[in-house]
């Protein structure tokens, strides 16, 4: 019997966010029981802790994990932050809890307090508490950097820091100027997915143009999602794009190979290849960043005007964020259990479930595709932002925003206006693969 065929056929999709409102553009889907089955078949870790992919671990398992997590956090995050950082330190994420946010949850571990769209607990033994706010429905889809300036309208709190993307920071640079101080991912996991039986190795813009001329259509969340006007400006016909993708892969499955679908390397790819009974075969995919728009899409940022006041805090906090990113990759089980408990417990949204198996598979996809990696081609510290690379992104984006008639961006913007590496510890790195 094929275990994939026993998986739930229907999976609820994530609600759409406004164009460029936040990191999680539509496309994430719940993993369910099949995620655990497939992850175990792939030889991934943490499969034995949860028999039902959509259910939380048992009360005993949760208590045990929480105790271990608290002890780990207390022994690993020890730099004094009391009297230096806000207490509690409030951080807004860009979507409902998922592995992309795991660095933040690692700082608390599994013993914090869950409430609607919120998780709070001691930040190790630093002397302060950390409160992590969920995005999407948790911030009414406002996204960053808006929430940093106007506050979270759902939870009625203004965060100190937020997760955002450089393209949005550039777009809003005159209206809501922010500065990124750390990046949880080295590259954007956004992809275009194709049927290899119809279109193979769409690795260049020229190949996408050829596919469009052959009759292919690109199914995307919005025609304003920044990579779409970027591709159009580079020759891909505007008529080839269809907006409205919200996570339903039916168009791709039934499109006879002529639909090239937006997605994420750590979500739709695994979903199509293992969890979709009407497909259940390999797909090809093209990472958007390899097409020349090499944005940072998971950065920690704060209002530019608060940089001076927060400088002492960031000097001590950012190296802990880097260390937490490494700790999660090396020991993901407790946080992955927490994410499953959070989303299955009704603290997020009913359509958003992250089983341990899903999170484990997502971690593997992010690592194997170099999305989570050390900077500078693997030789630099984790979390560092390449300002030369960013300057190229800015020079690409500003003409597009000008053509769209936007008035929210700062003319003459430079990479130093939206990002800094001054708080990064150059010694904190992921160990070599297999090390």
Please state the three-class secondary structure of 156-175 as a single string.
CECCCEEEECHHHHHHCCCC
How high is the pLDDT of residue 270?
77
Q: What is the mean pLDDT of residues 189-218?
A: 97
Q: What is the mean pLDDT of residues 282-296?
A: 96
pTM over 0.75: yes
Contact predicate 39/47, CB 8 Å: yes
How high is the pLDDT of residue 21?
31
Does the domain formed by 190-291 have CATH 1.10.3470? no
Q: How confident is the model at residue 247 (pLDDT cuts 50, 70, 90)?
A: confident
Q: What is the mean pLDDT of residues 268-295?
A: 91
Mean of the per-residue pLDDT values for the chain? 86
List the Cα angle 220/226/230 in 5-degree steps.
95
Residue 272 makes CB contacts below 8 A (sequence gap 6+) with: 193, 249, 252, 253, 279, 283
Q: 333-344 vs 59-76: helix axis angle to the nearest 10?
A: 130
Region of poorest pLDDT, from 143-147, 236-240, 340-344: 143-147
Q: What is the mean pLDDT of residues 201-209?
A: 96
Bond preceding residue 197 cis, omega within 30 of 0: no
Residue range 31-185+296-376 forms a domain whose CATH class is: alpha beta
Asked whether this chain's domains 31-185+296-376 and 190-291 adopt the same fold, the reply is yes
d(CA 320, CA 366): 21
Contact predicate 56/378, CB 8 Å: no
pLDDT at 111 over 60: yes
d(CA 50, CA 57): 6
List the Cα angle 362/368/369 in 5-degree steps.
90
Between 296 and 434, whose confidence is greater? 296
Q: Domain ranges in the chain?
A: 31-185+296-376, 190-291
d(CA 6, CA 175): 50
Judged on CB neighbours under 10 Å (0-12, 13-18, 19+), 55 is middle
Q: What is the mean pLDDT of residues 85-94?
A: 98
Number of C-beta neighbours around residue 232 at 10 A: 17
The tens digit of pLDDT for each residue in 45-84 reads 333 333 223 333 333 333 334 444 478 999 999 999 999 9
């Amino acid at each position: 019997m094929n275990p994939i065929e026993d998986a739930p056929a229907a999976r609820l999709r994530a609600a759409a966010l406004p164009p460029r409102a936040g990191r999680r553009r539509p496309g994430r889907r719940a993993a369910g029981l099949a995620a655990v089955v497939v992850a175990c078949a792939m030889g991934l870790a943490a499969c034995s802790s949860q028999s039902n992919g959509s259910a939380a671990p048992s009360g005993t398992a949760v208590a045990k994990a929480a105790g271990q997590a608290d002890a780990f956090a207390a022994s690993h995050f020890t730099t004094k932050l009391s009297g230096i950082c806000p207490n509690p330190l409030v951080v807004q994420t860009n979507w409902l809890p998922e592995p992309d946010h795991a660095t933040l949850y690692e700082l608390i571990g599994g013993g914090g307090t869950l409430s609607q769209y919120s998780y709070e607990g001691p930040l190790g033994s630093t002397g302060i508490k950390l409160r992590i706010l969920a995005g999407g429905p948790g911030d009414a889809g406002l996204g960053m950097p808006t929430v940093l300036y106007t506050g979270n309208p759902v939870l009625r709190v203004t965060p100190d820091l937020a997760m955002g993307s450089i393209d949005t920071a550039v777009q809003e640079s005159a209206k809501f100027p922010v500065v990124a101080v750390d990046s949880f991912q080295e590259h954007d996991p956004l992809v275009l997915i194709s049927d290899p039986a119809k279109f193979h190795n769409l690795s260049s813009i020229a190949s996408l143009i050829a596919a469009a001329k052959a009759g292919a259509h690109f199914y995307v969340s919005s025609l304003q999602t920044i990579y779409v006007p970027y591709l159009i400006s580079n020759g891909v016909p505007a008529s080839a794009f269809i907006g409205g993708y919200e996570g339903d892969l039916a168009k791709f499955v039934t499109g006879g190979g002529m639909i090239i679908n937006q997605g994420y390397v750590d979500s739709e790819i695994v979903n199509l290849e293992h969890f979709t009974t009407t497909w259940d075969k390999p797909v090809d995919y093209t990472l958007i960043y390899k097409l020349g728009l090499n944005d940072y899409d998971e950065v920690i940022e704060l209002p530019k005007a608060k940089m001076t006041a927060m400088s002492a805090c960031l000097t001590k906090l950012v190296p802990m964020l880097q260390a937490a990113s490494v700790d999660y990759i090396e020991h993901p089980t407790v946080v992955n259990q927490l994410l499953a408990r959070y989303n299955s417990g009704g603290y997020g949204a009913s359509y958003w479930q992250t089983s341990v198996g899903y999170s484990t598979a997502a971690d593997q996809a992010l690592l194997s595709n170099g999305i989570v990696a050390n900077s500078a081609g693997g030789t630099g510290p984790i979390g560092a932002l390449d300002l030369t690379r960013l300057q190229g992104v800015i020079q690409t984006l500003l003409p597009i925003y000008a053509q769209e008639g936007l008035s929210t961006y700062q003319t003459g913007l430079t990479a130093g206006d939206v990002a800094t590496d001054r708080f990064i510890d150059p010694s904190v790195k992921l160990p070599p693969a297999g090390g």
